[in-house]
Amino acid sequence: MESKTQDTLERIQQAALDEFSEKGFLGASLRQIVKHAGVTTGAFYGYFSSKEALFASIVEPHAAILMSKYVDAHISFSELSAEEQPEHMGVESGAYIHWMVEYVCQHREPVKLLFCGAEGTGYENFIHNMVELEVKSTFRYMETLRRLGHSISELSPSLCHIIASGMLGGIVEIVVHDIPQEQAMRDVEQLRTFYTAGWLKLMSS
């Protein structure tokens, strides 16, 4: 069996990235991956236990940091006092969104794979899970505002889910359409302005 080397590992992962990017996880052929990597199937299994393990090796580092920083942004906001939270609305999330756009633009291929090619893997609900966290945080914030004496409209979980999906879906569009980073930053900042105004209107209506 071919000895394990960093070069071989990188060739397998690059061949996999090309195959997964073109066909998604479900449509990708392990036979084609090993062929294009120039290794035998036996050698492949010296590196990875399965096609899904190979897929995970490509996207997991990006999934981990994207989700970790997203969770941290929500925790940072939730740990503020009730009185501080209205003043910080959009600050922590805005900083994360700016960071996310930059990160996505710097790692387009694997992130696009994570966002758009993960059906059939444990990553297929990645964006959905971010949306669910956003919805929970939104309802906590609305309850905080009510405790502070603000009159806040009742919004359904389904509506909040739709709105959060639209905002995060805008980030996905950056990689789907290969939008240049500078333009992506402008687009997302305007998108945030649009959604913030909408939230404020809904909450006060």
**pLDDT recorded at residue 2:** 46
Of the chain, the percentage scoring pLDDT greater than 90 comes to: 83
Length of the chain: 205
Structure tokens belonging to residue 79: 């740990």
Q: How confident is the model at residue 41 (pLDDT cuts 50, 70, 90)?
A: very high
Q: Structural domain boundaries of the chain?
A: 1-49, 58-204
Give the span between the Cα atoms of 37 and 13, in whole angstroms. 8
Cα angle 112, 116, 118 (rounded to 5 degrees) comes to 105
Q: Which amino acid appears at position 40 of this protein?
A: T
pLDDT by residue (tens digit) across 120-143? Answer: 999 999 999 999 999 999 999 999
> Looking at the predicted structure, is the pLDDT value of residue 153 above 90?
no
Instruction: Tell whether the torsion through CA atoms of 85, 131, 126 and 180 is positive or negative.
Output: negative
What number does CATH give the domain 1-49? 1.10.10.60
Please state whether the predicted TM-score (pTM) of the whole model is above 0.85.
Answer: yes
Please give the pLDDT value at position 205. 59
3-class DSSP assignment, residue 13: helix
Each residue's pLDDT tens digit, 9-33: 999 999 999 999 999 999 999 999 9
